[in-house]
Amino acid sequence: MGNLSSLMFPLLLVLLAVPLFLSARKQKRAMAEQQQLQSSLEPGDKVMTTSGLYGTVADASHDTTIDIEISEGVVTRWLRAAIREKVVDTDEAVVEDKVEEDEEPATTAQVAEPLDHNAKK
């Protein structure tokens, strides 16, 4: 029995240390990829920030910041660290499903009546 307890500690150590080591490596690799992405940004790249804002890189000449055009003529300055990912260029315009004239629309959504803010309570 003494032999079993002497093997228990190294086994427990291995079972705890290996997952910690592997997750640390995975996290380090993800950070390196993120830093590489942030340093490779160029004007014209479409990006998404960590807060979910989409835009186009307007100026990437600063070390710590980057200018993003979020609408035509509207340019904002962000920390490079706030850039989450490059966005694949897809049509952002929503294409509505064509509905035949005889066909019922696919949705059954209803619109609520507008609120009357001037009504007395």
In a domain, 23, yes or no: yes
Here the CATH number for the domain that contains residue 19 is 2.30.30
In a domain, 98, yes or no: no
Task: Tally the domains of the chain.
Answer: 1
Q: Is 110 left (phi over 0), alpha (psi -120 to 50) or beta?
A: beta
| Digit-coded pLDDT (tens) for 16-46 | 888 888 899 999 999 999 888 888 899 999 9
pLDDT at 101 over 70: no
In a domain, 51, yes or no: yes
In a domain, 46, yes or no: yes
Among 39, 40, 64, 66, CA closest to 55: 66
Which residues constitute the domain of residue 34?
2-86
**Pairwise pLDDT comparison (2 vs 19), residue with the higher score:** 19
Residue 103 confidence (pLDDT): 57
In a domain, 104, yes or no: no
pTM over 0.85: no
pLDDT at 108 over 80: no
